[in-house]
Structure 1
Amino acid sequence: MAPPQSPVRRPGARDTGRPRDPAAGGAPARSPASLLGKRGPIVPRPSPRGVPRRGRRRRRTTGFPPRTRGMNVLFATQGKYGERIAEHIAANRPRGWEILRLPLRRNLPAVIDDPDAVLPAAIPAADLLVSLHESPGAAELIPDIAQRCRAAAVLAAVDDRAACPRGLENQIGKRLGGMGIAFAFARPLCGFDGGPHPLLSAFASLFGRPRVRIDADGDRVGRVTVERDCPCGAGGFVAKVLPGTRLSEAADTGALRHHHHPCMASMEVDPELSDTLMHLSGYIFRAAINAALKRK
């Protein structure tokens, strides 16, 4: 006689979620949890990178959203400080970036009632605005420039607190936030690490907090490779003067020599830091070199 059959579920009958009754004389029913590790993975194995499981190959992309791979960056400058930074980035920009410039008057008043009186009639469209202001008047124009160039994000350098006091920074931030524009105030600019917008992160991935790789030559620094330079180019400058330095002295030497680039951060004491922004930039370089020595 044939063994008893398992109960047959009618077509369309709803599954109650309970285990089926075991066949007479068979092994007791097991719960789903008891099957873990015994019947293979419950979720499908990941497919090879870039190839979906159904056989269609995914299109390879870079790490940044499409808008950041070909973006227009507008630099608002007011003197040699900003011009040097804009020139360095223009000379080392990746393919697809267009560098635009908006020179501002050096003698701008501290309070500007009519932006039309000091801004050009036509400002080129840009995705990212980088403000390299040198006075409160130029900093006050940041929201007006961002609106006219239709920027999605703003990076404002704070290398001199006198040019952008904390109260003014808060006012600018409120205006930009009300306009739906992402923004970051980098204090100092060489300490910027990205966010809170993909455009800002794309910029900082190439020009921001310095990152270097150091190859040792015995007890001395051998080759130094700049993996991420500062917006002003100080990282490349330090990389050229470090080789030959004792490894034990590399961090202090780099922090000192970066001032010779020269560093454009202020030597005035920042009340919030109880130190100068130039010293803070030196600490940033010391940290970058120490991190590289730990990785070697």
Structure 2
Amino acid sequence: MLTLTGNLENLTLIFIYSGEFAERVIRNLINDPSFCKSCGLYCDYCKYNVYSYVQNIRAAIQIPSPDQLPQFIDEPRKYLPRKVPEADLCIASGLHKDLLLELPRYLREFRVKGLIVPIEDFLEVPSGLKRQVEEECLEQGLESAFPKPFCSLEAEEDKPLVSRLVLELKVGRPSLELSVVKRGGREVIGAAIVRRSAPCGSTWYIARKLLGVEVRKEILYDVIAKAHHSYPCTATMNVDPEVKEPILHLGGYIIRDEVERALRRAKERE
């Protein structure tokens, strides 16, 4: 298990994005009280006043979406921000392919140390483009990660900045703590604590929906799948040619796997 030691300054982030996905991540990180509406009238404010990482975000810059730009861009700098603040990591989402390819060189000029490109749709970041951007990051001395989907992101020994995002800001691959109680002769989930959330915030909603659910696999899987879809997960439903699955399904498998792990840990504590 990777842990952080020593006195570290706040991890700093910038976002360069188009589209709604990055906005969801930003609003989850700052814990915007008007953001999560999934429970509607049944909201019990489970996540509000629990955390806020607004101080970690130095800039969030929205740029034109790919469909608002030329198909091919010879001078990508024309469409990127004139400048960005120095930061540890840039999270880039929904960018035109030519802008994304230019980003590592651009970020290095402004002393940004790393780049995360979440892949929620393989058409936005095809595997060939991912390899090119990854190679360019290596050449420019930038740490990089391309999680597919974003909720698959984990801490890695050779990626200290990415690891800090996962461990300090507690977003990435979900982590839950569950307890099991007996009610009416059935074992049900009695409590659910979010230790780390999917970057979009869906883990909080799913945890809320798990309360009182019987731990029988067929019942549990159905509840998890419905909650994951209805939050909603916005990853593509098209089959990814690399993994032979829709990326949305990958996100569903990730949270399902974590619920099962959390239940095993709960039983070990009994």
After TM superposition, the score normalised by the length of structure 2 is 0.80
Distance 1:99 1:262, change over 3 A: farther
2: CA distance between counterparts of 1:284 and 1:145?
33
Distance 1:270 1:90, change over 3 A: same
Task: List per-residue Cα deviations over 1:112-168 (Å, max 9, x = no partner).
Answer: 221221122221221111112254344334324422432111111011000000111
Distance 1:86 1:65, change over 3 A: farther
Name the one with the larger helix percent: 2
Q: Which amino acid aligns with 1:280?
A: L
Summarize the alignment of residues 280-295 of structure 1 with structure 2, pairs less than 5 Å apart: 280-295=250-265
2:120 pairs with 1:175 = no
Q: Among residues 74, 84, 88, which one is paired with 2:14 in the alignment? A: 74
| Greater Cα radius of gyration, structure 1 or 2 | 1
2:116 pairs with 1:155 = yes
The answer (yes or no) to whether the contact 1:125–1:151 under 8 Å persists in 2 is yes
SS of the residue 1:278 aligns to: helix
2:179 pairs with 1:215 = yes
Task: List per-residue Cα deviations over 1:24-59 (Å, max 9, x = no partner).
Answer: xxxxxxxxxxxxxxxxxxxxxxxxxxxxxxxxxxxx
Query: What is the alpha-carbon root mean square deviation over aligned residues?
Result: 2.0
1:63 corresponding residue in structure 2: 4
2: CA distance between counterparts of 1:220 and 1:210?
21
How much has 1:245 moved relative to structure 2?
Answer: 1.0
Distance 1:142 1:90, change over 3 A: farther
Distance 1:280 1:274, change over 3 A: same
Distance 1:246 1:89, change over 3 A: same
Relative to structure 2, which stretch is displaced further, 104-113 or 73-82?
Answer: 104-113
2:248 corresponding residue in structure 1: 278
Q: Among residues 75, 87, 90, which one is paired with 2:27 in the alignment? A: 87
Summarize the alignment of residues 95-110 of structure 1 with structure 2, pairs less than 5 Å apart: 97-106=56-65, 107-110=68-71
How much has 1:231 moved relative to structure 2?
Answer: 0.5
SS of the residue 1:215 aligns to: strand
1:263 corresponding residue in structure 2: 233
1:17 corresponding residue in structure 2: none
Q: Which amino acid aligns with 1:273?
A: V
Greater RCO (Cα-Cα under 8 Å, separation 6 or more): 2
Task: List per-residue Cα deviations over 1:196-247 (Å, max 9, x = no partner).
Answer: 3211001122100001111112111111100111110010010111111111
Distance 1:173 1:122, change over 3 A: same
2: CA distance between counterparts of 1:95 and 1:122?
21
SS of the residue 1:86 aligns to: helix
1: CA distance between counterparts of 2:28 and 2:96?
22
1: CA distance between counterparts of 2:58 and 2:209?
29
Q: Which amino acid aligns with 2:160?
A: P
2: CA distance between counterparts of 1:154 and 1:93?
22
The answer (yes or no) to whether the contact 2:30–2:54 under 8 Å persists in 1 is no
The answer (yes or no) to whether the contact 1:213–1:292 under 8 Å persists in 2 is yes
2:82 corresponding residue in structure 1: 121
How many residue pairs get aligned? The number is: 234
Q: Among residues 235, 243, 255, which one is paired with 2:211 in the alignment? A: 243
The answer (yes or no) to whether the contact 2:58–2:85 under 8 Å persists in 1 is no
Q: Among residues 188, 193, 197, which one is paired with 2:159 in the alignment? A: 197
2: CA distance between counterparts of 1:256 and 1:134?
30
SS of the residue 1:169 aligns to: helix
Unaligned runs of 5+ in 2: 32-50
After TM superposition, the score normalised by the length of structure 1 is 0.74
Task: List per-residue Cα deviations over 1:81-106 (Å, max 9, x = no partner).
Answer: 11111111122445862342121111
2: CA distance between counterparts of 1:135 and 1:267?
21
